[in-house]
């Protein structure tokens, strides 16, 4: 646990049971810290809240990122998760050209059994006290209904019914689809999907929509999901071959599209890949930074996850435009993901670096240029 707690004298209402504590100095000693601007702990023992808000950067704009409600094994594990995810949001928004910084929040709780209105009320107070430094949205464990509940009590909540952007997944799927085609184009010189073999891991909101698009353009699909209702439907609708568990990693395909879990590309799994391209929507696909190198050593082209899956944040960010959400501004921005990826692939080859190293360098250059 923390050694030093520094209460923050902020705009908290008199008599509240919420404590807001600046834990930046403590977080600096934890894995995942990357010169984060500020890290906050919101603690309310009466209403059952332990929330960490990590603000990685606000150089390009307020730090936007979802709130993950998850029963982390320890407080440190929760802080590290928030640190890593918020850094990823900085890179994602910078590369997508959005006027947003990177932030992420973690509420340490089981969303099924411990999420209560009282807890969310306390969290709404925390959001208000941060005075616009951080803008939240949905993530694992937080639903649209939760976002609406928070928005009725706090400013700085995006991805709500009222904001108008709705479900981000179709935009994430569209960006992933175009990014996958850009990777194919870079590798083969042509982006026709007819007859191209693609393995999609995870048939959730994004994976299913991606399969629909791939199937419509003639790709041959192999799929996996823990839910056999979904795999059965994919077999029926798309003529997809179904494989169980991690066998999808070793599927004999041209492209592997991870759309389920993070950490799927590791020292264990990379040697098994038969695909020449990895292009999918899952967050945090590389288990470690070394796995980018492992992919290059095997001659596999990797579309960095936070570049290819930025469609959702591009869509949510449109809620903040003057005049409100307009889908017409979203579609061309999502389409630009393909050009951005092509630029990353080319630069990686030119500089003899991994695509994820180049993407990170590009994001940092954008942030540093704005800082000057
Ligand atoms: P989802 O929860 O709707 O779907 C995930 C699917 O993966 C589920 O069907 C689940 O059963 C399946 N799954 C879980 N573990 C699996 C395993 N070991 N093997 C095969 N299937 C497995 O999630 P989603 O919204 O479709 O998001 C998918 C991925 O994309 C996640 O990593 C998410 O963080 C990332 N992402 C999503 C969005 C978005 O807009 N939804 C945006 C950016 C990134």
DSSP codes, 304-366: -HHHHTTHHHHHHHGGGSTT---HHHHHHHHHHHHHHHHHHHHHHHHHT--HHHHHHHHHHHH
Provide the β-strand partners of residue 241: 222
Residues 124 and 208 in one domain: no
List, for residues 124-155, the tens digit of each pLDDT value: 999 999 988 999 998 889 999 999 999 999 99
Q: What are the structure tokens assigned to 60, written together?
A: 């390009």
Contact 24, 56 (CB under 8 A): no
Residues 107 and 200 in one domain: no
Amino acid 6: pLDDT: 47
CATH of the domain at 240: 3.40.50.720
Residues 265 and 358 in one domain: yes
Residues 41 and 132 in one domain: yes
| 8-22, 111-125, 213-227, 315-329: range with lowest mean pLDDT | 8-22
Tally of structural domains, the chain: 2
Please report whether residue 51 resides in a domain. yes
Residues 278 and 362 in one domain: yes
pLDDT tier for residue 4 given thresholds of 50, 70 and 90: very low
Our answer to whether residue 104 is catalytic in this structure is yes
| Proportion of the chain above pLDDT 70, given as a percent | 97
Please report whether residue 158 resides in a domain. no
**Which structural domain, as residue segments, surrounds residue 56?**
19-87+102-151
Taking the CA of residue 135 as centre, how many other CA atoms within 13 Å lie in the half-sphere pointing to its CB? 23
If one residue of 69, 199, 225 were mutated to test the ligand 1 pocket, choosing by the most ligand atoms within 8 A of its CB, it would be 225
List, for residues 57-102, the tens digit of each pLDDT value: 999 999 999 999 999 999 999 999 999 999 999 999 999 999 999 9
Give CA separation, 343 vs 254, 260, 356, 358, in Å: 21, 26, 12, 10
Residues 208 and 238 in one domain: yes
Residues 210 and 338 in one domain: yes
Q: Which residue has the higher pLDDT, 261 or 267?
A: 267
Please report whether residue 97 resides in a domain. no
Distance CA 57, CA 59 (A): 6
Provide the β-strand partners of residue 301: 277
If one residue of 167, 204, 307 were mutated to test the ligand 1 pocket, choosing by the most ligand atoms within 8 A of its CB, it would be 204
Cα(345) to ligand 1 centroid in Å equals: 25
Distance CA 229, CA 295 (A): 32
| Proportion of the chain above pLDDT 90, given as a percent | 87
Cα(3) to ligand 1 centroid in Å equals: 37
CATH of the domain at 42: 3.40.50.10860
Q: 57 — phi, psi (to 5°)?
A: -145, 150
Please report whether residue 14 resides in a domain. no
Please report whether residue 162 resides in a domain. no
Please report whether residue 361 resides in a domain. yes
Give CA separation, 141 vs 49, 86, 178, 285, 350, in Å: 14, 17, 28, 20, 41
Arithmetic mean of pLDDT, 336-357:
97
Residues 203 and 287 in one domain: yes
Residues 183 and 309 in one domain: yes
Please report whether residue 10 resides in a domain. no
> pTM of the full predicted structure?
0.91
Rg from Cα positions in the chain: 21
List, for residues 276-295, the tens digit of each pLDDT value: 999 999 998 999 989 999 99
Q: 143 — phi, psi (to 5°)?
A: -100, 170
Residues 134 and 239 in one domain: no
Provide the β-strand partners of residue 358: none
Distance CA 23, CA 126 (A): 14
Amino acid 5: pLDDT: 42
Distance CA 80, CA 3 (A): 17
Residues 120 and 224 in one domain: no
Amino acid 237: pLDDT: 98
Residues 212 and 129 in one domain: no
Tell me which residue of 204, 218, 144 sits closest to 172, measured CA to CA. Answer: 204
Please report whether residue 161 resides in a domain. no
Q: What are the structure tokens assigned to 178, written together?
A: 């175009």
165 lines ligand 1 (CB under 6 A): no
Q: Look at strands 19-22 and 6-7 and give their pairing.
A: antiparallel
Q: Which of 92, 104, 115, 213 is catalytic?
A: 104
pLDDT tier for residue 356 given thresholds of 50, 70 and 90: very high
pLDDT tier for residue 10 given thresholds of 50, 70 and 90: low
Angle between helix 117-129 and 144-151 (nearest 10): 60
309 lines ligand 1 (CB under 6 A): yes
Helix (H, G, I), strand (E, B) or coil at 5: coil
For the chain, the average pLDDT equals: 94
Cα(140) to ligand 1 centroid in Å equals: 10
Distance CA 254, CA 92 (A): 26
């Amino acid at each position: 646990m923390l050694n030093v707690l520094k209460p923050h004298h902020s705009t908290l209402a008199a008599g509240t049971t919420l404590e807001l504590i600046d834990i930046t100095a403590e977080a600096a000693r934890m894995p995942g810290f990357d010169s984060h601007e500020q890290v906050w702990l919101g603690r309310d023992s009466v209403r059952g809240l332990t929330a960490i808000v990590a603000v990685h950067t606000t150089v390009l704009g307020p730090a936007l990122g979802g709130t993950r409600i998850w029963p982390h094994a320890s407080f440190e594990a929760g802080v590290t998760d928030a640190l890593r995810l918020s850094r990823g949001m900085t890179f994602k928004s910078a590369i997508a050209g959005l006027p947003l910084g990177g932030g992420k929040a973690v509420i340490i709780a089981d969303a099924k059994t411990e999420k209560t209105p009282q807890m969310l009320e306390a969290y709404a107070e925390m959001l208000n006290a941060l005075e616009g430094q951080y803008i939240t949205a949905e993530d694992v464990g937080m639903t649209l209904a939760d976002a609406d509940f928070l928005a009725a009590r706090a400013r700085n909540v995006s991805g709500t019914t009222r904001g108008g952007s709705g479900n981000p997944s179709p935009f994430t799927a569209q960006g992933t689809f175009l990014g996958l085609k850009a990777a194919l184009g870079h590798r083969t010189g042509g982006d026709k999907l007819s007859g191209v073999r693609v393995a999609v891991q995870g048939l959730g909101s994004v994976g299913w929509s991606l399969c629909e698009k791939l199937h419509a353009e003639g790709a041959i699909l192999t799929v996996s999901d823990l839910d056999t209702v979904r795999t059965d439907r994919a077999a029926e609708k798309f003529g997809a071959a179904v494989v169980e568990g991690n066998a999808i990693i070793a599927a004999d395909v041209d492209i592997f599209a991870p759309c389920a879990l993070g950490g799927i590309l590791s020292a264990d799994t990379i040697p098994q890949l038969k695909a020449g391209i990895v292009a999918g929507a899952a967050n945090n696909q590389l288990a470690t930074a070394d796995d980018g190198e492992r992919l290059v050593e095997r001659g596999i082209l990797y579309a960095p996850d936070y570049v290819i899956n930025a469609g959702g944040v591009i869509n949510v960010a449109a809620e903040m435009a003057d005049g409100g959400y307009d889908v017409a501004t979203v579609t061309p921005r999502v389409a630009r993901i393909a050009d951005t990826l092509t630029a990353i692939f080319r630069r990686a080859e030119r500089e003899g670096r991994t695509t994820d190293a180049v993407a990170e360098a590009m994001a940092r250059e954008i942030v540093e240029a704005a800082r000057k």
